[in-house]
Structure 1
Amino acid sequence: MHDSTYFSIRVYRNNHTCSSVVASTIRNKRKGTPQVVADVLRGVYPGEVDTPAPKALIKVVQNEAHVNVSYSTALRGKKLAISELVNPGTVTSVKLNARNKFKYLFVALGASIEGFRAMRKVIVVDATFLMSVYGGMLVFATGQDPNHHHYPIAMGVIDKEKDASWSWFFETLKTVIPDDEELVFMSDRPKSIVKAVQEVYPLSQHGFCVWHLSQNVRGKARVGCKDLCAEKFRECAHKYTEVEFVSAYAEFRRWFPKAAEYLDNSVHLEKWARSYFKGDKYNLDTSNACESMNSVFKKARKYALLPLIDAYIEKVSEWFNKHRKGSAIASDTKKLVPYLENQLHNLCAIANGLFVTELNHFELEDSVIGNDGKSYLIDTWALAYYRTIYLVPHQSTWIILEEIEKLVILPPDYTKKSGRKQDKRYPSTGEAHRKQSNKANPGIHLGRWFEPLNTDEDEEENQGDNQGGNPSEV
């Protein structure tokens, strides 16, 4: 009826418009569709390509969705789930030289980009060498989630650490993480990184890794005091207030004048001292996050380019699934992440002896909690991992654009080197070199240890042959 919520039925046409499957389905015998099978697979096997066979999927769908499916429906649903294994929002970039040879690579998964928006804006960048025949460097940009886990944001491959390669990497990173006054970068001290951050991210702040600096300072100390020098330097760098820093640094200068002179002449104070740093780097003052990533992908660094990307996506997908489940099973009675809950539990004994002010005003509560406190909420932790990262499916399911398929990318040039490949990284300046204790003493002929002992009859005969010394005398 006009201008009313009432209506009347005047014509009824007795024609069925629903499918025969739905029309013939009764309540006690519901049948599933391929989309139902695909939805079940996404929930039970998130991000996995190697799911059970269709015969086993029939029982899985019955237990999860309480519907019956045929073998052909389970097979179609499995193929549909594989075709939907995509990572929307992922940004990739490849740079070639003038001869169409590979030069640079950049990969940032869409789930990592979106999850980083819920975190503190601190990014650790570092590079380590690849151990394939073509060489090159593997680059990581890593953050830290609310529960203090390493959070991979992007990875890349460059030829070497130089101005052009680092500028290209940061320019590409800027397309997913824009320049911001709250953004902070932490790294070692390569001049190419310092220059690239200043040019590409002028609004951000850049700090140096305190641990690497402590190793540089350690080399300036006297023999026997090197470890103490590095420890005292880290204590100075961690001071929160300028008053505490001035007092601690004055003591450090008295004990280690050469190390202090090296710092004054080589490194700006605001680059390593927490109390003078212009940005908010929170608890991140080292490049340990990227060093850990280098260790995780130690084996994968020997792979070719495509297997290396597959290994990276597989590991990140594994971490996302693990931490997503961890945030989901967190207790409903607690609002903070497990890491902070443990920290507060350890500090309860100290807090009991302190003077406490009652929080009876919302402005006071906001000033105490602050933005940093909100980043430790379980809801924020879950927001960082709510997206699923899917593995790369089989090549037969790929959909490649025609203009991409026509491209021809040649491998980079390389020079075959003689000798065994370098598996361990080169120590930084001031870092202690490990002593090789397994080298044989050149004065001992080890082969004599495996020879049979001389009998009394042969002792006189072999007396002139023992010119290299008797093993029993060593």
Structure 2
Amino acid sequence: MESKRTKTFTKLDMSSLNLAVGQRYESKEELEKILKLLTVRDRFDFDVPISRPDTYIVTCWVHGCRWRVRACRQGQSPEFYIRLYDAEHTCSVTERSNRSRQATADILGTIYRDLIGDIDPSVRPRHVGVAINKHFGIKMEYWKAHRTLKFARELEMGSLERGYEDLPAYLHMIRRANRGTLTRLNVDDSGRFKYLFIAFGASISGFNFMRKVVVVDGTFLHGKYKGTLLTALAQDGNFQIFPLAFGVVDTENDDSWQWFFTQLKLVVPDNNGLALISDRHKSIGKAIRKVYPLAARGICTYHLYKNILVRFRGGNLFRLVKKAANCYRMDEFQSVFDEIETLHPVLHGYLERADVRMWARVHFPGDRYNLTTTNIAESMNKVLAKTRSFPIVRILEEIRLMMTRWFNDRREDALAMKTTLTRGVEKLLEDRVSGAKQATVQTIDSRHIQVICGSSLHVVNLDSKRCTCRRFDIDKLPCVHAIAAAEHKNVSRVSLCHPYYFSQFLGNAYAGSVMPNDFAVPVPDDVGIQVCTPPIPRNQPGRPKISRMKSCLEVASEKKRRRKQHTCSLCKKEGHNAKTCINH
């Protein structure tokens, strides 16, 4: 764990490597390490003519050079003392720097971690080789650079195996530091890791002030043991990602998703007012039906669009499906859906089999507000992308660091808001206010108000917070017609918004703090003896993939780089070349 690594490895100071007769070292291994570091700093190498339990003698590798060190153990103590040190090299600099056998991967890894570079996942072995060669003149083969980088990362974050071993103690300390935090660790009969779940107490209490929509998703972990990181997220009243719970499982299947939702149910109870949004993964659907029978399930419309682009060609069809998914009124939806049936009956049947209640806003049986996709989960995956090759304990610690920062920053931001509504909602309503000023308003009776915007006529009921356009009903925010009616009746538009969008609710959502572990407090013995070993590696054939292949929808939506215009070398104008120039 981090505290143990801190005790074992300290930051390297190359200036403190100077030797002298009488110097004491804790062990023979410590002396060997110092001598190897010295060879890198001073660009030479040494041979070891004598290495016994009580004596250690090294000489410069160049024959005839006077440089040598002799160290001995005193009595039965493991400590070694330098008894003889000849610091002068009588060989040439060029000759003694031609070998670097003592510059092993662990030594170079220590130097690289402490003195040179970043160990970010984007760093590659070739970057390490270039940096070491630039600073110390040591040329490295690829695999030595690979081992050097691996060792440097393990110094900083611990090994992948150690990450699993430290899980029981880490989760215990997280619960101790954060009241109300829920953690679960599942291992098989032999103690091998299977599943992990964590929901911080600050998130659990903060979700009470959120719209009851939870987006779930999974993303692959990299490295030797792989696995899948599962996320359960909400969106706050300022339209920001709210991390609710995280899980790590060996793979996405029926059992792992059911286990994850079973733990999530302890944090988010099942009820008719809950909506769960996900992609169309079959295991997710099965698990939701078993664990959350009362909740309404919706599928991500973006994933639906991607499947349609792959199965069915035609940009016009794609636009019609998107329009149908986002309709607020039943008559508008039916009109578009009938058009799809006329143009492409097979696509119409595919959409019906996908269950219109899951992807069409107007048919959704619960409240999903503006959340029609799993985009917030994709955004979270990008935030955590660099950590996906880290040891599992370090992944959890990076999540903890992220949440500590987010909760603090957003708490302060909410307290600084001077308006009743959040900043994001205020910005959204600004455009609607300008549109409402162009509307024609007529009172029908004490409850109903007629609003004409352009060619559309709608009826608003401010008491029940409804409008015949249904945007007011579904989003729980006043539509342009409701704002026009409110101004006509001299009613505050703030009173028409759901409290979930209030700055006070936003502040309450982030009122809790996510605390770090206190490594000064010892881990109880009953926790320390718990066994968690890595799962059995499952290597797929072929070269490991770091990034997934992009879908046709993602490729099509990317901004295309503007092609460089040809410039004529004769007239200096763009659009043609000298061969086709008509100006000369």
Instruction: Place the TM-score, normalised by the shorter chain, in its bin.
Output: 0.5 to 0.7
The corresponding residue for 2:523 is 400
Q: Which amino acid aligns with 2:375?
A: N
The corresponding residue for 2:323 is 235
Q: Partners in 2 of 1:275 and 1:258 — Cα distance?
A: 22
1:3-82 maps to which residues of 2 (within 5 A)? none
Quickly say closer, same or farther: Cα 1:357–1:407, change in 2 above 3 A: farther
Quickly say closer, same or farther: Cα 1:370–1:193, change in 2 above 3 A: farther
**Which of 107, 130, 135 is equivalent to 2:198?**
107
**Which of 389, 397, 400 is equivalent to 1:302?**
389
The corresponding residue for 2:431 is 346
User: CA contact under 8 A between 1:128 and 1:138: conserved in structure 2?
Assistant: yes
**Which of 383, 386, 400 is equivalent to 2:511?**
386
**Which of 323, 326, 347 is equivalent to 1:259?**
347
The corresponding residue for 1:367 is 464
Quickly say closer, same or farther: Cα 1:415–1:215, change in 2 above 3 A: closer
User: CA contact under 8 A between 2:174 and 2:181: conserved in structure 1?
Assistant: no
Quickly say closer, same or farther: Cα 1:247–1:84, change in 2 above 3 A: closer
TM-score, normalised on structure 1? 0.68
Q: Which amino acid aligns with 1:100?
A: G
**How far does residue 340 in structure 1 lie from its aligned partner after superposition?**
1.2
**How far does residue 372 in structure 1 lie from its aligned partner after superposition?**
5.9
The corresponding residue for 2:79 is none
Q: Partners in 2 of 1:207 and 1:153 — Cα distance?
A: 18
1:264-279 maps to which residues of 2 (within 5 A)? 264=352, 266-279=353-366
**Stretch moving more, 413-422 or 94-103:** 413-422
- Once the two structures are superposed, what CA deviation does each residue of 1:435-471 show, in whole Å capped at 9, x if it has no partner? xxxxxxxxxxxxxxxxxxxxxxxxxxxxxxxxxxxxx
- Once the two structures are superposed, what CA deviation does each residue of 1:274-309 show, in whole Å capped at 9, x if it has no partner? 111111101001011111111110000010100000
The corresponding residue for 2:211 is 120
The corresponding residue for 1:458 is none
The corresponding residue for 2:254 is 163
Quickly say closer, same or farther: Cα 1:192–1:398, change in 2 above 3 A: farther
User: CA contact under 8 A between 2:462 and 2:496: conserved in structure 1?
Assistant: no
**Stretch moving more, 108-117 or 365-374:** 365-374
TM-score, normalised on structure 2? 0.55
Q: Which amino acid aligns with 1:272?
A: W
- Once the two structures are superposed, what CA deviation does each residue of 1:81-120 show, in whole Å capped at 9, x if it has no partner? x999921111000000111100000010000010001111
CA RMSD of aligned residues (A): 2.6
Quickly say closer, same or farther: Cα 1:399–1:90, change in 2 above 3 A: farther
Quickly say closer, same or farther: Cα 1:371–1:126, change in 2 above 3 A: farther
Quickly say closer, same or farther: Cα 1:292–1:84, change in 2 above 3 A: closer
Q: Partners in 2 of 1:83 and 1:274 — Cα distance?
A: 39
- Once the two structures are superposed, what CA deviation does each residue of 1:251-283 show, in whole Å capped at 9, x if it has no partner? 22333333223223x311111111111111010
- Once the two structures are superposed, what CA deviation does each residue of 1:392-431 show, in whole Å capped at 9, x if it has no partner? 34x3x24423221111111110145676431112456x75
Q: Partners in 2 of 1:99 and 1:325 — Cα distance?
A: 47
Q: Partners in 2 of 1:176 and 1:296 — Cα distance?
A: 23
| Residue 424 (str. 1) matches residue 547 (str. 2) | yes
**How far does residue 319 in structure 1 lie from its aligned partner after superposition?**
1.1
**How far does residue 355 in structure 1 lie from its aligned partner after superposition?**
3.9
**How far does residue 433 in structure 1 lie from its aligned partner after superposition?**
6.5
The corresponding residue for 1:137 is 228
Identity of aligned residues (%): 34
**How far does residue 432 in structure 1 lie from its aligned partner after superposition?**
6.4
Q: Partners in 2 of 1:340 and 1:422 — Cα distance?
A: 40
Q: Determine which structure has the larger strand proportion and give its number.
A: 2
Quickly say closer, same or farther: Cα 1:137–1:349, change in 2 above 3 A: same
Q: Partners in 2 of 1:84 and 1:159 — Cα distance?
A: 23
Q: Which amino acid aligns with 2:344?
A: F
The corresponding residue for 1:90 is 181
**How far does residue 250 in structure 1 lie from its aligned partner after superposition?**
1.5
Quickly say closer, same or farther: Cα 1:355–1:235, change in 2 above 3 A: same
| Residue 315 (str. 1) matches residue 439 (str. 2) | no
**Which of 245, 249, 253 is equivalent to 2:337?**
249
The corresponding residue for 1:199 is 290
- Once the two structures are superposed, what CA deviation does each residue of 1:185-218 show, in whole Å capped at 9, x if it has no partner? 0000111100100100111010110010011112
Q: Which amino acid aligns with 1:349?
A: S
User: CA contact under 8 A between 1:215 and 1:230: conserved in structure 2?
Assistant: no
User: CA contact under 8 A between 2:327 and 2:333: conserved in structure 1?
Assistant: yes
The corresponding residue for 1:5 is none
Q: Partners in 2 of 1:100 and 1:372 — Cα distance?
A: 51
User: CA contact under 8 A between 1:241 and 1:275: conserved in structure 2?
Assistant: yes
- Once the two structures are superposed, what CA deviation does each residue of 1:136-173 show, in whole Å capped at 9, x if it has no partner? 10000000000000111001001111110000000011
Classify the secondary structure of the residue corresponding to 1:347. Answer: helix
Q: Partners in 1 of 2:540 and 2:328 — Cα distance?
A: 49
Q: Partners in 1 of 2:397 and 2:175 — Cα distance?
A: 18
| Residue 290 (str. 1) matches residue 392 (str. 2) | no
Q: Which amino acid aligns with 1:195?
A: K
User: CA contact under 8 A between 1:221 and 1:256: conserved in structure 2?
Assistant: no
Q: Partners in 1 of 2:175 and 2:267 — Cα distance?
A: 23
Q: Partners in 2 of 1:124 and 1:306 — Cα distance?
A: 24
Q: Partners in 1 of 2:503 and 2:535 — Cα distance?
A: 46
Which blocks of at least 5 consecutive residues in structure 2 are unaligned? 1-172, 448-460, 466-493, 557-584
Classify the secondary structure of the residue corresponding to 1:148. Answer: coil
User: CA contact under 8 A between 1:216 and 1:431: conserved in structure 2?
Assistant: no
Q: Which amino acid aligns with 2:501?
A: Y
Q: Which amino acid aligns with 1:386?
A: A
Quickly say closer, same or farther: Cα 1:85–1:106, change in 2 above 3 A: closer
Q: Partners in 1 of 2:463 and 2:234 — Cα distance?
A: 25
Q: Partners in 2 of 1:137 and 1:301 — Cα distance?
A: 9
Q: Partners in 2 of 1:371 and 1:136 — Cα distance?
A: 46
Q: Partners in 2 of 1:365 and 1:120 — Cα distance?
A: 21
User: CA contact under 8 A between 2:175 and 2:181: conserved in structure 1?
Assistant: no
Q: Which amino acid aligns with 2:392?
A: L
User: CA contact under 8 A between 1:221 and 1:258: conserved in structure 2?
Assistant: no
Which blocks of at least 5 consecutive residues in structure 1 are unaligned? 1-81, 435-474
Classify the secondary structure of the residue corresponding to 2:244. Answer: strand
Q: Partners in 2 of 1:130 and 1:372 — Cα distance?
A: 40
User: CA contact under 8 A between 1:122 and 1:143: conserved in structure 2?
Assistant: yes
